[in-house]
Structure 1
Amino acid sequence: MSTTSDSESGCQRVEDLWFSDADLILRAEKAIFRVYGGFLAARSSVFRDMLSFPQPQTTGTQTEEETIDGHTIIRLHDEATEAEAFLRAVFDSSFFMPPPNPVKLDTVIGVLRLAHKYDVQYLFRRALAHLEVLYPFDLASLYAGGSLAAFSTHVQFEGWSEPAANTLQAVSEVGATWMLPSVYYAIAHVDEFWVYTSEYLEGEQLEKCLVGHSHFIRAHTSSHRFLHALPLASCNFTACRVTVAGAYRRLNRRTDLCQDAEPLREWVFDSMNDELCSACSDFGAARHVEAQEAFWESLPSLFQLPAWEKLMEMRQKVMTDTA
């Protein structure tokens, strides 16, 4: 954020969002922005309604801090960084492009919150589209993109616990309920996640993650029940018996309480698949996929959320242009 001090207001001007001929001055915390009210009102119904009311006239009783160049400062009760991200997205078409254009997660969350608050629907849907790359709403997208929130090709963030917790808070606030199963899963599958997220999560959300993690451990084991049927009765390859025995050993280690429990991206079968004969491999792959699909269908209920069908109805209402 490029800023300069404003002697009249005691705040910091954001230079890239300070247009000298603009008619609207906004303040968020100590940051002030001078932008075009008509342009903003054309995109935001909230600002359109706000600016439709006559602005108070400058009088001798007003303090210098309340006006700049005769324009009343409108205070926004938002974080300065989020207000800047939102206004840049509105006034600079190249700043917040659709996926897969690179973008910082903090920017996405800031735009998401304020586009929802100020009713700028195209930016709201764009922010959600970025987050859906990190937290897919269907299993095919998860398989295509890798582990949840781990292999994004364009959304940039550092660390894990705070970004995940911030995302959970943000999507909850804006009513993007269909994203919650994936976000909860991304948090709760990690071993001892509570050590890292307790600073950011509390109450019901933390409790749901704790309960979810215990379910994940059990699902981690049940998704490999097909191992009992391997090798197939028709298999005569010694290598298959050796491979299955090794898989049992790895599974027992991985299902220890001190291990991550990620049923949807479990490597036990993947690591043994190339060592099996074609018949055993095909059988195991089919049963493993069935187990993962069953777990995915059950995921919303683990966090006391509506079923996927209902969640997709919610998504359709928000993400279509006619919403």
Structure 2
Amino acid sequence: MGGDAGPAAMLGGMARALKSDRSLRFLLVGDEARVRAELERHAFPAGSAEILHAPDSIESSEKPSQALRRARTTSMGMAINAVKDGAAHAALSAGNTGALMAIAKLALRTMPGIDRPALAALLPTLGEHDCVMLDLGANTECDAQNLVQFAVMGAAYSRTVQGIRRPRVKLLNIGTEELKGTDELKDAAALLREASYLPFAFDGFTEGDQLSRGKVDVVVTDGFSGNIALKTAEGTARFVTDLLKRAFTSSLRSKAGFALSKPALHMLKVHLDPNNHNGAVFLGLNGLVVKSHGSANAKGVANAIGVAARMVRNDITRKIGDDLDNFRAHAFANGQAAE
């Protein structure tokens, strides 16, 4: 029921996802009358979807504390409870991000070894793969252990969703030199340098202007800096596209240039289209929850569904748990040796 277009975008995305993967099954949680009306507009395979009626929904402006009190009767709360109860493998919502995080954290709880869940998403780059970035707003303040846990989760996400065998991991900082940054960043870097046995390659620090260059697979930061970096990148992308539109409509000569440049501009548009990178993930919970952008169209929702399906099939929760167990075992062994 969330997002700018509500059930229309969600079921449109479901239709696109089913065209490429007929094995998917959906539990549609929301106002039954509205959902069924939209369901009948598409020719879905028999048995591919069922409706779970939710009498209420959470507004985009609603505070997380208010949403928590109404979780049991809302589509968002009921969808997350379906994951908790085993009726669904993952929950996908385009609704209120703060409410989704609060409800998911309370209902699913954090995994053993995870202090705080993190919000991760894919950013477009000039490289062969998109870049995983976390945290993007779930935690404004983080200590070194939080950042290490984010690195483990982000690397598991990169291996699972993008198929990168040994992702390159960096910490976002104000410089690449080892002496720069906060104590938390320096301590996290020291811990990650010692964790060469984990299935990722820690490669020090990176600055914000390098995020899109394709030289890093996972960027780790606190939610405050991560959210600012993400919004800045999104704003810059819009600035570039709007500037190009203005430039190509300023004169007859520029309009002629636009006609010649159309194939290249189309490639740029596709690369910067947020629908092609849709599907942020709450990592570190005992259950999978995916957040779709509120303005996502059917293509964007289908991409988010694909992210959820790949995480389920590749058992990302188990991979994160195994990596954390490995990290704790080595840390404990090193502690004993030091004593």
What TM-score does the superposition give when structure 2 sets the normalisation length? 0.27
Q: Which has the higher contact order (CA 8 A, sep 6+)?
A: 2
- Higher percent of residues as helix: 1
Compare CA radii of gyration and give the structure with the larger one.
1
